[in-house]
Amino acid sequence: MRLLPSLLPSTKAQLRHHEESTSVAKPEYNELLPYGIRGFEDRGLGLLLQLSVEIEAYIKRGQDRGWFYAPQASQLQTQLNAIVTAYSNLETIHLTPIAVASLIHLQQVLALFGIVLPFGIVAQMQWYAIPMTAAIMFTVYGIEAIGAQLEDPFGYDKNDIKVDAIVEDLRVETIVLLEEWRSGSVTFPQNKLT
């Protein structure tokens, strides 16, 4: 169960494409990993998926040894599958860029709009058409820039998702729950593991 907290930083590293996401040299979770485990990113298997296989084996071993009843093991397996599904969804968001053709077309349409707009409003606004066109184009290009910023929400930009804070919060919660589970508290009355 010590592997659970290591799922979080491995996901963060993978979404940010850190080079160390494929090795155990990451100090955040190095002590939590079994000796010799590493991701096989170069062969298409990330560390998070490798860890989930280890956790799945632990759940099976726990059921065989009587640590978990069959319904508990089934629920743990369901939750692990939900984590892997959520990770897959995050990877889809991360790896799906805005199509280059769409970006080029958008730039061309915005440039054409900026060229044609003054001629469309000059009759009503006269010389005010110039600052009005500038303000409108500033706004439209700003919206386009915001879209480009939102393409990868897992980075370090100010407007990106606060991945570090989320991972730290989940890590603390996971460790607290594991400590409660190990101690056999009232929260986990069926725990037979010593």
Cα-based torsion angle of the residue sequence 56, 58, 61, 67 in order, rounded to the nearest 10 degrees: -110
Q: What is the pLDDT of residues 65-99, one digit of tens each?
A: 988 888 988 998 999 999 999 988 988 888 887 78
Distances (CA, A) of 162 to 30, 89, 153, 156, 168: 23, 17, 9, 8, 10
Is the pLDDT confidence value at 31 over 70? no
For 128-135, what is the mean pLDDT? 92
pLDDT, position 151 = 78
Residue 159 burial (C-beta neighbours within 10 Å; 0-12, 13-18, 19+): exposed
Of the two residues 147 and 56, the one the predictor is more confident about is 56
Of the two residues 10 and 60, the one the predictor is more confident about is 60
pLDDT, position 25 = 46
Written as six digits, the tokens of 171 are: 């890590």
pLDDT, position 19 = 47
Query: What's the pTM value of the predicted model, to 2 decimals?
Result: 0.66
CB-based contacts of 71: which residues, under 8 Å, 6+ apart? Answer: none
pLDDT, position 24 = 42
